[in-house]
Amino acid sequence: MTRRFDPAPLDPAEVHQLLDLARRAPSAGYSQGVHFLALSGAALAGFWRTTGADEWFAEVQGGVLQAPVVVLPLADPVAYTSRYSEGDKAGHGLERAENWEVPFWLTDAAMATQNLLLLAQDRGLGALYFGIFRNARAALDELGVPGHVLQVGAVALGYRAADDAPSGSARTRPRRDPVDVIHRDRW
Ligand SMILES: Cc1cc2nc3c(=O)[nH]c(=O)nc-3n(C[C@H](O)[C@H](O)[C@H](O)COP(=O)(O)O)c2cc1C
């Protein structure tokens, strides 16, 4: 994760290309209910303001606020409940969101988001996935996102600052040992 960005803008065509590639992730029933909303300029300023994330980052990781673009991956549960009402998928009660053991709209959104992180890395760009902890719905409303469509966090995107260095929890916590997380035949 990059937490110090260079404020240089990204080419909107490059952002579009990244998002078009990132959306080619696995999708349950090929429902494709994942959307990306790319924010820059005034829209991004409004997002920072409404969520209060600008105050948080200014205190702890000011370099994040230099990112020229923040992408909101968004999940539309209705795309999934509709798709799973169709003949080849019906019969499991999945036309109702509350019946899903695993909400695949969130799974799909996470997979597409990981694609975006990998693509950014591949292109030599910096990216940070971060959570939106305050006023997320208000921010989505301001941006015209339909009320049933859910946020799953945000991805700051841009060029890495020259002085970007590893930061965040991975600096203070070791990677867990494989024997603690990889299980064979039985947990
Ligand atoms: C679900 C999730 C939420 C995260 N939220 C934040 C966040 O709000 N702020 C932040 O700086 N990093 C956040 N991260 C990044 C993690 O801190 C980071 O991935 C982890 O420490 C490993 O570091 P690395 O990705 O740089 O290797 C989040 C990562 C995930 C997967």
With a 6 A CB cut-off, is 172 part of the ligand 1 pocket?
no
For residue 75, give the H/E element and its range: strand 69-75
For 135-184, how does the pLDDT look when each residue is reduced to its tens digit (9 = 90+)? 999 999 999 999 999 999 999 999 999 999 988 899 999 999 999 999 99
Q: Which CATH superfamily is domain 5-181 in?
A: NADH Oxidase (3.40.109.10)
| C-alpha to C-alpha distance for 131 and 20, rounded to whole angstroms | 22
Q: How far is the CA of 154 from the centre of ligand 1 (A)?
A: 11
Residue whose CA is at the smallest distance from ligand 1 atom 26: 1
User: Which tokens is 133 given?
Assistant: 């902890």
Across the range 74-86, mean pLDDT stands at 98
- Whether 87 has a pLDDT exceeding 90, the answer reads yes
- Closest residue by Cα to atom 25, ligand 1, is 1
Tell me the domain boundaries of the chain. Answer: 5-181
CB atoms within 10 A of CB 142: 14
What is the torsional sign of CA 135, 139, 96, 34? Answer: negative
Q: Which residue has the higher pLDDT, 168 or 130?
A: 130
Q: Which ligand 1 atom is the nearest neighbour of the CA of 170?
A: 21
pTM for the predicted model, two decimal places: 0.95
7-66 pLDDT, tens digit per residue, is: 999 999 999 999 999 999 999 999 999 999 999 999 999 999 999 999 999 999 999 999
